[in-house]
Amino acid sequence: MALYTSSKHAKFLATGLPIYDFLAPSLLQASRASLQIRHLTKAKRYHSAAASNEKHDKSPSQPSRNPRSGADAASNPPPLKKPLTQAQRDFLTSALRVNQAGELAATLIYAAQTPPIISSHPHLRPLMKHMYDQEATHFSTFNALMAKHRIRPTAMYPLWTLAASALGWGTAIMGREAAMACTEAVETEIGGHYNGQVRVLLEMAEQMEKNGDDIGDELKDLIETIRRIRDEELEHLDHAVEHDAKQAVPHELLTGVIRAGCKGAIWVSERV
């Protein structure tokens, strides 16, 4: 879309024609969020078209920016850092929200699994405690990030609380192997999910670097945090497989159902 808009725009400029914005108003209008009131003057339109060019920084052939008068350029120097685009902000919002929901569920699963498991297999106590403690740290990390960045928690919070506790308790009752299979299924999904997020974030960082923008410590820290947490989740996966997760009786069925549930929960939490 950026290419489309900007090449059109560039053509207009090259031919020196006035912009017939009354003919194609929607092509030149910025997709500014919360645009309640349309602006009509030409100067403003230039401004918003420039903003939309900046916004869609994916366009490979950056068209020449709109000529600005000296006075205009002097009175409005470009900001040091550009605002994040709507798409980037949306991604960060849903990513942090779904991560918090996931860690909430993980904490509750381990908390519900621990008592039945350690009453029948006391030697697993340190392992369960270790995994629970790590999940609790992740949960508080994401809680802090959510509060800091003013992100709405998922509306399904009470539902996930119930579902995760029921899942943890249910699999623990079914025995050690089933509980470990549950861990295996959940951590596989979560690991893949975090991997996807890291990939998108790295792409975003690369894109910003290419455009000469500063990424900022905030995003760098976020990438580091998610990477670290992903590694710890995958470590849990290894623990689960070491403890006979594959020997759970309907292994395929159990992990399949749990993984489908995880996927569904991720899909929902990203949206509401």
Partner 1 sequence: MATRTRLARLWPLSKPSALPLIRPYHSYDHPPPPGPFNPTESSILEAAIPHIPTHGFTHTTLSIGASDAGYIAASTNLFPNGAFSLVHYHLYTQRLALAKHQHIISPPPREGEKPIGIGGKVKALTWERLMGNKEIIHRWQEALALIAQPSHLPTAISELSSLSDEIWFLSGDTSVDTSWYTKRASLSAIYAATELFMTTDKSPNFDDTRDFLDRRFKDVQIVGGTMGSVTQWAGFTATAALNVLRSKGVRI
For the segment 207-266, give every residue that binds partner 1 (CB under 8 A): 214, 216-219
Residue 221's CB is within 10 A of a number of other CB atoms, namely 11
- Shortest spacing between CB 23 and partner 1, in angstroms: 14
Compute the distance between CA of residue 67 and CA of residue 104 in angstroms, rounded to an integer.
51
- Shortest spacing between CB 81 and partner 1, in angstroms: 5
Q: Nearest to residue 211, comparing CAs of 88, 49, 58, 79?
A: 58
Q: Per DSSP, which regions of the chain are E strands?
A: none
Compute the distance between CA of residue 16 and CA of residue 24 in angstroms, rounded to an integer.
17
Compute the distance between CA of residue 187 and CA of residue 264 in angstroms, rounded to an integer.
15
The span of 64-72, 111-119, 231-239, 241-249 binding partner 1 (CB under 8 A) equals 111-119
Compute the distance between CA of residue 69 and CA of residue 73 in angstroms, rounded to an integer.
6
40 binds partner 1 (CB under 8 A): yes
- Shortest spacing between CB 188 and partner 1, in angstroms: 26
Q: How many residues interact with partner 1 (rule CB under 8 A)?
A: 54
Please report the sign of the dihedral spanned by the C-alpha atoms of residue 187, residue 193, residue 194, residue 195: positive
Neighbour-count burial for 95-114, b at 16+ CB within 10 Å, e otherwise: bbbbbbbbbbbbbbbbbbbb
- Shortest spacing between CB 272 and partner 1, in angstroms: 10
92 binds partner 1 (CB under 8 A): yes
For the segment 163-192, give every residue that binds partner 1 (CB under 8 A): 169, 173
Among 11, 42, 65, 89, binds partner 1 (CB under 8 A): 89
Q: Which residues belong to the annotated binding site for Fe cation?
A: 103, 135, 138, 187, 233, 236
Among 144, 166, 202, 249, binds partner 1 (CB under 8 A): 144
162 binds partner 1 (CB under 8 A): no
The span of 62-70, 77-85, 129-137, 254-262 binding partner 1 (CB under 8 A) equals 77-85
Q: Which residues belong to the annotated binding site?
A: 103, 135, 138, 187, 233, 236
26 binds partner 1 (CB under 8 A): yes
Would you say 216 or 264 has its CB closer to partner 1? 216
Q: Tokens for 64, please give them.
A: 């020449």
Q: Nearest to residue 272, comparing CAs of 89, 98, 86, 34?
A: 98
Among 102, 116, 168, 191, binds partner 1 (CB under 8 A): 116
Q: Nearest to residue 265, comparing CAs of 147, 168, 157, 166?
A: 157
Residue 50's CB is within 10 A of a number of other CB atoms, namely 16
- Residues forming contacts to partner 1 in the complex (CB under 8 A) are 1, 3-4, 26, 32-41, 44, 47, 51, 79, 81-84, 86, 88-90, 92-93, 96, 100, 115-116, 119-120, 143-144, 146-153, 155, 157-158, 169, 173, 214, 216-219
